[in-house]
Structure 1
Amino acid sequence: MPPNVDVLVLGGGPAALCIASELNQRGVAVAGIAPDPLDAPWPNTYGIWADELKMVGLEQLLEHRWSDTVSYFGAGGTTAQDQSYGHGIDYGLFDRAALQRYWLERADGVVWHQDTVQRLEVNGATTSVSCASGATLQARLVIDASGSRTPHIRRPDQGPVAGQAAYGVVGRFSPPPIDAGRFVLMDYRSDHLSEAQRREPPTFLYAMDLGDGVFFVEETSLALAPGVPYDVLKQRFQQRLDQRGVLITEVIHEEFCLFPMNLPLPDRSQPVLAFGGAASMVHPASGYMVGALLRRGPDMAEAIAQALVNPALGSAALAQRGWQALWPIELVLRHQLYQFGLGRLMGFNEALLRTHFATFFALPREEWFGFLTNTLPLPRLMGVMLRLFAMAPWELRRGLVLGAPATQSPTFAQSSG
């Protein structure tokens, strides 16, 4: 039976639309399967450093942009501890509808089936996809871009997957929770916590002024296995507001986020290709992915388009070309370095994390920016990590070499007031 299309993309989120649009722009016959309508609003917000978006010429997709970008790494409670660290670089928030529309327009002509995938079967030259509706579609290559929880992509079991969790509110507050016109990347001040809570893995505030009296304020954790429970994040969020005398006067939207930070790389010999979260493209050091989609999608699409010209290549061979383009050895090694660093940070207590980030953002701007965006070549990345170690105070060096102190608890106790 001949294939319906050259490439079948699974999923309907940012990763699926990105790779479908890139393939479509290269003349590849593409179709997609998504469980929801393609124009359904995306629920989560997507932030990005403006310079990262400038690299791909898409700054017009930002809905909000801040030049006043800061973090707080003190314990809080005194003027010195409340001192902000200015990042000196613009941060932006995507206009989600505009980003979705951009990819949909570039994917014009792609046929999307609203259905749920149940089973994939590779038959040499083609791959069959069986859906809940009873429909079966065939393609020379299937790309799973349906997210990190997909059952269709094989990956090694390397233990519990650490999740970065967040609870937030888009709303109106009195008084404002942060200074007008400001973006706060990390606020680690913890004077609102009890002594028992300070012995638990730390969380920080991520916040931004959206204008017109509306703010997005979110309590966030770094990666932890298991992830920090939402009720703990919500309690800490409320305690932080209470400490500063801030009331929520209107809730426009509540946000709940949990995404994997140390998901193992997929088995790159399998005959089904992946992209986005399914391909472990979430940055282990920052939790961001959209910038990587925009940078890496074109290269993978180009490799696939060139391979499809050869009619003798079946699903496995086509997938191999795609895997090689998406995860060349350079990126694999960089990913391993980031995973190693994340493993160290996951055990740090509050004081050590504050010291780490204060040291990290003291690096030259192009170095910490390149680290957080995964745009540094491997030798430069290693050099930045060595420089960070050289700049670190003794207790931080010890943590980076030996891991967390023996007294550090790796998980949350019962939430305490």
Structure 2
Amino acid sequence: MASRTHLTDALVIGGGPSGLGLAAELAACGLSVRLVAPHPPRPFPATYGAWLDEVPAPVRPCLADVWTDVRAYTGEDPTPLLRPYAMFDNARLLDTLLTRAGPRLTWTVGMVQHAEQVGEGWEVTGAGGERWRARLVVDAGGHGGGVTRPVRPHGAALQTAFGLVARFDRPPGPPGGMVWMDYRAGHLPPDEVRAAPTFLYTMHLGGDRYLVEETSLIARPGLTRALLERRLHARLAAQGTPPREIETTEWVAFPMNTAAPAPGPVLAFGSAAGLVHPISGFQMVGALADAPGVACAVAGALDMHSPTQAVRAGWDALWPPERRAAREISLLDAEALLALPGDMLPAFFRAFFALPAAEWHAFLSPRTGAGAIARTMLKVFAHAPNRVRVPLARAALGQAEVSGRALRAAAGVG
């Protein structure tokens, strides 16, 4: 039997930016932290983009690119979004978070298999028989969770994307800019668009290099890698911009509809805690913004109370009542999008981006209250064409209980 290690204040499961971000903040609050991940520290493999105004100040030096020409296509003409968009340098982000953590963080390579409460603390078992002891456990183990089990109402609804970084003889997107969403699909049969809508996402990386991704916003079941790869190359060929030299490829698949977790003995964080935005799919910058407050609440309660109370304090900081209500409404919105035929999504987003900028900005923000989210969706419904309203109304009626809560939240009740 493997020997037990010394007791740490917190054990964090997961080495992604959310888990490391919270581990760093816990360490900065004076706690000893063990982070357990299947790999040693390495630059995060995914591409992380974010609205510039939502990037926390401490990690702004980690940005690789910022675009001011940001546009969406919900028809033939572009809609300027007039909101700068950024992409992270993942190696720089990793170094920044590790520096923030300092010597109070121990990074342990392993895989957590089991966690058991023992007295006022925890004994955590690794897949290789390792034993780690900690006063409290944080599950930042990604979409599947480490020791918690995220709940997805009606089954997982996935965002999937296939992308590549390549060199192009002709630019596949605006030089010097980025396209947040391009739903133009004249190269596809209408029935394919209706059944499985996808859009193009592009970033100019300088010179003749671009990142291009074919994305399914949300689907149940999710679209396959093979389909999205085929769609991407068909789109690029149709617009006369096939890649000349492919440098890397990327496959993205994650659930969009994880419910807010109930309080429990383990503190869930990041995507394991249902922090993926059900409409945009954003999560990482929101988690980095949440981390200092959650860590402060945990450390303060751990200093004064039991580990159980410290976990509850962290959960309360992450999930105040208004945010839990907002999550329910956002899940309703996700179900409405799932019910919308694919050829109607461009009209939906045309109405969405026609809103005052402050309103659609707030709708996509991770901390917007329940009432504001519900009112925004009602405005989109009011301004959308009738052919879009009908399936949205049917979806709302199919979720009558949640719809009632959404309307009460919009009115400031409950």
CA drift of 1:157 comes to 5.9
1:111 aligns with 2:109: no
Residue of structure 2 in register with 1:399 after alignment: 391
Aligned with residue 97 of structure 1, among 91, 96, 99: 91
Which whole-Å deviations, capped at 9, do the CAs of 1:289-320 have from their partners, x for residues lacking one?
A: 1121122111110110111112x514x33322
Looking at structure 1, the residues matched to 329 and 109 of structure 2 have their Cα atoms a distance apart, in angstroms, of 39
Task: Please tell me the residue identity of whatever aligns with 2:289.
Answer: R
Looking at structure 1, the residues matched to 128 and 149 of structure 2 have their Cα atoms a distance apart, in angstroms, of 25
Taking structure 1 as the reference length, what is the TM-score of the superposition?
A: 0.90
SS in 2 for 1:398: helix
Looking at structure 2, the residues matched to 296 and 370 of structure 1 have their Cα atoms a distance apart, in angstroms, of 16
Aligned with residue 157 of structure 2, among 162, 170, 174: 162
Residue of structure 2 in register with 1:409 after alignment: none
Residue of structure 1 in register with 2:69 after alignment: 68
Taking structure 2 as the reference length, what is the TM-score of the superposition?
A: 0.91
Looking at structure 2, the residues matched to 98 and 157 of structure 1 have their Cα atoms a distance apart, in angstroms, of 33
Aligned with residue 171 of structure 2, among 173, 176, 180: 176
Looking at structure 2, the residues matched to 89 and 96 of structure 1 have their Cα atoms a distance apart, in angstroms, of 22
Query: Cα RMSD over matched residues?
Result: 2.0
Residue of structure 2 in register with 1:149 after alignment: 144
Residue of structure 2 in register with 1:275 after alignment: 269
Aligned partners of 2:20 and 2:35 also within 8 Å = no
Residue of structure 1 in register with 2:403 after alignment: none
SS in 2 for 1:199: helix
Aligned with residue 296 of structure 2, among 289, 292, 302: 302
1:366 aligns with 2:358: yes
Task: Please tell me the residue identity of whatever aligns with 1:44.
Answer: A
Which whole-Å deviations, capped at 9, do the CAs of 1:80-133 have from their partners, x for residues lacking one?
A: xx2100001111101111111111100111111111111110123001101123
Q: 5 Å matches for 1:186-201?
A: 186-201=181-196
Size of the alignment, in residue pairs? 394
Aligned with residue 331 of structure 1, among 317, 323, 333: 323
Residue of structure 1 in register with 2:47 after alignment: 45
Which whole-Å deviations, capped at 9, do the CAs of 1:123-162 have from their partners, x for residues lacking one?
A: 2300110112322111110001111112510344633101
Q: 5 Å matches for 1:133-144?
A: 133-144=128-139
Residue of structure 1 in register with 2:332 after alignment: 340
Task: Please tell me the residue identity of whatever aligns with 1:328.
Answer: P
Looking at structure 2, the residues matched to 87 and 199 of structure 1 have their Cα atoms a distance apart, in angstroms, of 25
More helix by share: 2
Looking at structure 1, the residues matched to 382 and 40 of structure 2 have their Cα atoms a distance apart, in angstroms, of 51
Residue of structure 2 in register with 1:77 after alignment: none
Aligned partners of 2:63 and 2:86 also within 8 Å = yes
Unmatched segments (≥5 aa) in structure 1: 75-81, 405-417
Aligned partners of 2:203 and 2:211 also within 8 Å = yes
CA drift of 1:281 comes to 0.9
Aligned partners of 2:67 and 2:84 also within 8 Å = yes
Aligned with residue 26 of structure 1, among 29, 39, 55: 29
Unmatched segments (≥5 aa) in structure 2: 397-414
Q: Flag the 1:34–1:162 CA change in 2: closer, same or farther, 3 A.
A: same
Task: Please tell me the residue identity of whatever aligns with 2:160.
Answer: A
Residue of structure 2 in register with 1:383 after alignment: 375
Q: Flag the 1:158–1:326 CA change in 2: closer, same or farther, 3 A.
A: same
SS in 2 for 1:338: helix
Aligned partners of 1:56 and 1:295 also within 8 Å = no
1:284 aligns with 2:273: no
Looking at structure 2, the residues matched to 172 and 366 of structure 1 have their Cα atoms a distance apart, in angstroms, of 36
SS in 1 for 2:218: coil
Residue of structure 2 in register with 1:212 after alignment: 207
1:258 aligns with 2:253: yes
